[in-house]
């Protein structure tokens, strides 16, 4: 499987997916820390990919997404955006309803 196929599979299999540096508990950059904290505050489980552990994804995803920076939040197969957009949506009260609605569309029994 090439890297682009891997990215498409990850996005397809994870309704809420954050490509970030590090992990939500141990982020490796301030922007990833802010983005993962905002997502955790929404109260729904989400998947993440540590791009520092996946250099091929780090190299290919910006071209695939047409988005140059990390973190990147993907919800229901669509790129939402990076840290600034995530934080703006969180502060405006738009992130939580989006995350909750997406999580509701994919009950845990389907994800297991």
At residue 80, the 3 state secondary structure works out as: strand
Mean pLDDT of 82-91: 98
* pLDDT tens digits, one per residue of 27-86: 999 999 999 999 999 999 999 999 999 999 999 999 999 999 999 999 999 999 999 999
- pLDDT score for 54: 97
67 by Cβ neighbours in 10 Å (0-12 / 13-18 / 19+) ranks as middle
- pLDDT score for 42: 97
Say how far apart CA 13 and CA 74 lie, in whole Å.
11
Provide the CATH number for the domain formed by 3-100 in this structure.
3.40.30.10
All structural domains of the chain with their residue ranges: 3-100
The first and second tokens of residue 86, run together, are: 């995530």
Positions of E strands within the chain: 16-20, 47-50, 72-75, 78-81
User: Contact at 8 Å (CB) between 7 and 61?
Assistant: yes
- pLDDT score for 96: 98
- Whole-prediction pTM: 0.94
Phi-psi region of 73 (alpha: psi -120 to 50; beta: other; left: phi over 0): beta
* pLDDT tens digits, one per residue of 4-33: 999 999 999 999 999 999 999 999 999 999
């Amino acid at each position: 499987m090439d890297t682009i196929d891997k990215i498409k599979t990850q996005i397809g299999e994870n309704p809420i997916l954050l490509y970030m540096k590090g992990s939500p508990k141990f982020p490796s950059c301030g922007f990833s820390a802010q983005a993962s904290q905002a997502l955790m505050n929404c109260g729904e489980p989400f998947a993440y990919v540590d791009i520092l552990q996946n250099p091929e994804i780090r190299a290919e995803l910006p071209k695939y997404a047409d988005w140059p920076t990390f973190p990147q939040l993907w919800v229901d197969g669509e790129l939402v955006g990076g840290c600034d957009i995530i934080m703006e949506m969180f502060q405006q009260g738009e992130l939580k309803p989006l995350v909750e609605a997406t999580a509701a569309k994919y009950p845990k029994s389907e994800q297991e």
